[in-house]
Structure 1
Amino acid sequence: MGYKRPESVLVLIYDPQDRVLVLQRKDDPDFWQSVTGTIELEELPIETAAREVHEETGIDIIGSGYELVDTRVINQFEIRPQWRYKYPPGEFTNTEYVFTVCVDSTTPIVLTEHLTHCWLSPAEAQQKVWSQSNKEAIENHFLNLC
């Protein structure tokens, strides 16, 4: 297995009732998050976002006609020390592109990389997710709706 690129996406999935989908990681059950994933070689961030949503939840954004929105927010954060072995030596910072998508929460969720999921209010989701960039994505999205 090669190293991961230090570039990724975060996709905030919410429903028409403004509930946020959060996922519990298998490799760290205390870590709850939105959909995330590494941008593959020659892949655009928006392509990664659609692919990762499909891989992690089974939701086919394109096939379902959902609108994947590029928020134009780009975060940089320190890679967690316990995950640095996945990246090239000397890489300590990840660049993350943030997207949102509104989906029907009755759509079945098929988990492949997570233990469980739940739909939460924005405030509950902000309390549950681990990463600061995920908390900010939730806050920014729902503040912009007001």
Structure 2
Amino acid sequence: MSLKRPESVLVVLYSEQSNVLLLQRDDDADFWQSVTGTIEVGESPIQTAYREVEEETGLKLSFDSHDIVDCRHVNQYRIRQAWLHRYPKGTQYNNEHVFCAQIAQTHEITLTEHLSFKWLSKAQAIEKAWSESNRIAIKKFVPESLIAVHKGSP
């Protein structure tokens, strides 16, 4: 197993109703999260975001249509003690680039790395997400229901 780079992406997927897709980790059933993944050598953060969404959900979003939005926000957090062995010796922190994308809840989700998924309201997702950085990203970058905004439109 090669060691991970301490630089990753977090991609918050949400619907027009502002429901958030959370994935249940297969190595910790209490750990619910948005799409995440390590930036590989030679990849840009946005390339990693598209790759990880496809790998973890089966959704092939369009780079040309800019389906994934760069939130221009980077979290730095202390790596969980149980996961330090995955990183080079002495690594303590990870830098996490935040992205988001609006998708339809009707899209078929194909899990490859997780046990389960749930669509939750924004408030429920904030409550359920395991990591603080994920909760903050949901709170900050998922808009209030877009349906309510469009009701008054012609």
1:1-146 correspondence to structure 2 within 5 Å: 1-62=1-62, 65=65, 67-142=67-142
TM-score by length of 1: 0.95
1:142, CA displacement in angstroms? 3.4
Any idea what the Cα deviations from partners look like across 1:54-104, whole Å, max 9, x if unmatched?
A: 000000011895611000000000000000000000000000000000011
* 2-structure distance, mates of 1:66, 1:119: 23
User: Structure 1: which 5+ runs fail to align?
Assistant: none
The runs of at least 4 aligned residues of structure 1 exceeding 4 Å deviation read 63-66, 143-146
CA distance 1:103–1:113, change in 2 (3 Å):
same
Q: Percent identity?
A: 52
> Contact conserved, 1:66 with 1:101, CA < 8 A, in 2?
no
Distance 1:64-1:121 versus aligned 2 partners, 3 A rule: farther
Q: CA deviation at 1:21?
A: 0.1
Paired residue total: 146
User: What is aligned with 2:152?
Assistant: none
SS of residue in 2 equivalent to 1:53: helix
CA distance in 2, matches of 1:47, 1:133: 21
Q: Deviations over 1:14-53 (max 9, x none)?
A: 0111100000000000000000000000100000000000
Higher radius of gyration, 1 or 2? 2
Structure-2 change in CA distance of 1:110 and 1:66 (3 Å): farther
Q: Name the Cα RMSD after superposition.
A: 1.8
